[in-house]
Chains A and B, each alone.
Chain A
């Protein structure tokens, strides 16, 4: 008999025990481990998806912000460029105006200085010439300067043209006190008398000549009435000297002024950005 019923029963029991053993030690732990792993992977995947979505969202936000910042920066840059150009133009204009003002001021100063110098030279020259002449005349001819001056004036009076003489005569007819003799120095009484007599003789009338001192004349003398004058001074002789000095000054000041102006211009150019 191939079938042993005791063995059949024992094997059935064995099989059921084996089912229980394998369930206890194999299937349950393994399936639990697989489930736990799958849950963990699913959780990690979900987490990764959430993080990815969040990262995508943040990336979009950052991209928008970046674009806004770029736009803002471009605007600011453009505005700043325009402002800087305007400021540069303004500063250049200011500098140019300042340079021009400085240059014209310097030129004005130079002109004033030259004029002052010229006047000082003229005055000094007159004084020197007067002093030299006086000394030379005193040394050489043992005479004063006043005498020749009076002589020269009288000579001129005698030699004046008819029109002038007519004018003087008309003035004397209106007012006998109209004649005034001005000189740079006070004439001695003797010479005053000489003058008076000579004038009376020339105009054939009794005149009351008045004598005045005018330091401006320096080395000159003049007979004046309303609108008419006969005079002599060294001013005419000094005129050529003044012209010579003026030319000399102009020659000297001209290049300097030119150089200064050019120098100022170059400084202004160098200050430009």
Chain B
């Protein structure tokens, strides 16, 4: 039984191979980039604008708003990374309605790659925000005894991130494949709709968790604004 699109290999030369995961990812990248270019090539800066521009503006400002709500005060700094995470995972899920398509996020290799990106991005943004020393000190908070536990937490949450997305996407595709063999007509369509919902939820969860990790890394050493906020309240 095939669990991952990695197993569909179109071309291989030693270590290098071209499997379905990479090809579908390229397809998604092409669609997203070309679509973005077509929409943003003639942007209106006035009050009148096209429907597509409206849609894209809603998506971008929505993502920006979500990042801000998580606690990142300068959302535009993180919009490129977190927004792309959301759009890629969401697009990968949405395209499951195309027959013959396999979501690249249903491959553990892809989810691990995304989780690794988050794993690298968290200290990257943390160090950028509060310096190397400040960021490393955050591992020894509140005491040095917590250092190993913090490191374990960092690794395990990255692993959980990868496994969660893979599990959900893979299981969705798997269930539809199994149901197709049992009840070919109506039921798989309902499950596809459910899969779309699950995919959107997973995209939201993945990007929000990444935002939360980054927020935790950038805020931990800052003079806590919470007492001020409480004072204001």
Query: In the complex, which of the residues A10, A15, A22, A37 contacts B45, with contact meaning CB atoms closer than 8 Å?
Result: A37
Point out the residues of chain B lying under 8 angstroms from A32, CB to CB.
Answer: 43
Interface size class of B (residues with CB under 8 A): 35 or more
Q: Is B21 an interface residue (CB 8 A)?
A: yes
Does B33 lie within 8 Å of A6, measured CB to CB? no
Q: Is B1 an interface residue (CB 8 A)?
A: no
For residue B214, give the distance in angstroms from its CB to the closest CB of chain A. Answer: 14
Q: Is B83 an interface residue (CB 8 A)?
A: yes
- Chain A: interface secondary structure? helix
Does A11 lie within 8 Å of B45, measured CB to CB? no
Does A25 lie within 8 Å of B29, measured CB to CB? no
Chain A 19-56 interface 0/1 with B at a Cβ cutoff of 8 Å (1 = within): 10111011101111110110011000000000000000
For residue B195, give the distance in angstroms from its CB to the closest CB of chain A. Answer: 20
Does B19 lie within 8 Å of A7, measured CB to CB? yes
Q: Is A97 an interface residue (CB 8 A)?
A: no
Q: Is B143 an interface residue (CB 8 A)?
A: no
Does B104 lie within 8 Å of A11, measured CB to CB? yes
Q: Is B108 an interface residue (CB 8 A)?
A: yes
Closest to B108 in A: A2
Query: In the complex, which of the residues B16, B40, B113 contacts A15, with contact meaning CB atoms closer than 8 Å?
Result: B113
Does B88 lie within 8 Å of A7, measured CB to CB? no
Which chain B residues in 86-115 approach chain A with CB under 8 Å?
A: 87-88, 104, 107-110, 112-114
Bound-state Cα–Cα, A99 to B127, Å: 117
Bound-state Cα–Cα, A40 to B26, Å: 38
Does B3 lie within 8 Å of A2, measured CB to CB? yes
Q: Is A18 an interface residue (CB 8 A)?
A: yes
Q: Given A15-B114, A29-B40, A40-B45 in contact, is the A4-B81 Cβ separation under 8 Å?
A: no
Q: Is A202 an interface residue (CB 8 A)?
A: no
Q: Is B79 an interface residue (CB 8 A)?
A: yes
Query: In the complex, which of the residues A12, A26, A37, A41 contacts B113, with contact meaning CB atoms closer than 8 Å?
Result: A12
Closest to B105 in A: A11
Of B55-63, B147-155, B198-206, B221-229, the stretch lying at the interface with chain A is B55-63
Interface size class of A (residues with CB under 8 A): 20 to 34
Q: Is A9 an interface residue (CB 8 A)?
A: yes
Q: Is B181 an interface residue (CB 8 A)?
A: no
Q: Is A16 an interface residue (CB 8 A)?
A: yes
Q: Is B11 an interface residue (CB 8 A)?
A: no
For residue B17, give the distance in angstroms from its CB to the closest CB of chain A. Answer: 6
Q: Is A64 an interface residue (CB 8 A)?
A: no
Bound-state Cα–Cα, A103 to B6, Å: 137
Q: Is A191 an interface residue (CB 8 A)?
A: no
Q: Given A22-B33, A27-B80 in contact, is the A16-B43 Cβ separation under 8 Å?
A: no
Q: Given A7-B21, A8-B112 in contact, is the A34-B4 Cβ separation under 8 Å?
A: no
Which chain A residues in 69-115 approach chain B with CB under 8 Å?
A: none
For residue A10, give the distance in angstroms from its CB to the closest CB of chain B. Answer: 5
Q: Given A11-B113, A27-B80 in contact, is the A21-B6 Cβ separation under 8 Å?
A: no
Bound-state Cα–Cα, A36 to B44, Å: 10
Q: Given A19-B84, A27-B80 in contact, is the A6-B17 Cβ separation under 8 Å?
A: yes
For residue A2, give the distance in angstroms from its CB to the closest CB of chain B. Answer: 4
Query: In the complex, which of the residues B44, B87, B109, B166 contacts A4, with contact meaning CB atoms closer than 8 Å?
Result: B109
Q: Given A4-B109, A11-B114 in contact, is the A21-B25 Cβ separation under 8 Å?
A: no
Does A3 lie within 8 Å of B80, measured CB to CB? no
Point out the residues of chain B lying under 8 angstroms from A11, CB to CB.
Answer: 21-22, 25, 104, 107, 109-110, 113-114
Which chain A residues in 212-263 approach chain B with CB under 8 Å?
A: none
Does A7 lie within 8 Å of B45, measured CB to CB? no
Q: Given A11-B104, A14-B26, A33-B45 in contact, is the A22-B113 Cβ separation under 8 Å?
A: no
List chain A positions with a Cβ less than 8 A from chain B. Answer: 2-12, 14-19, 21-23, 25-27, 29-34, 36-37, 40-41
Query: Top 10 A-B pairs ranked by shortest CB distance?
Result: A11-B113, A7-B109, A29-B40, A26-B36, A25-B36, A36-B45, A21-B33, A2-B108, A12-B113, A33-B43
Given contacts A10-B113, A40-B46, 20 further A-B contacts (CB under 8 A): A2-B4, A4-B6, A4-B109, A7-B21, A7-B109, A7-B110, A8-B110, A11-B21, A11-B114, A14-B113, A17-B29, A22-B80, A26-B32, A26-B60, A27-B76, A27-B83, A30-B40, A33-B40, A34-B57, A34-B60
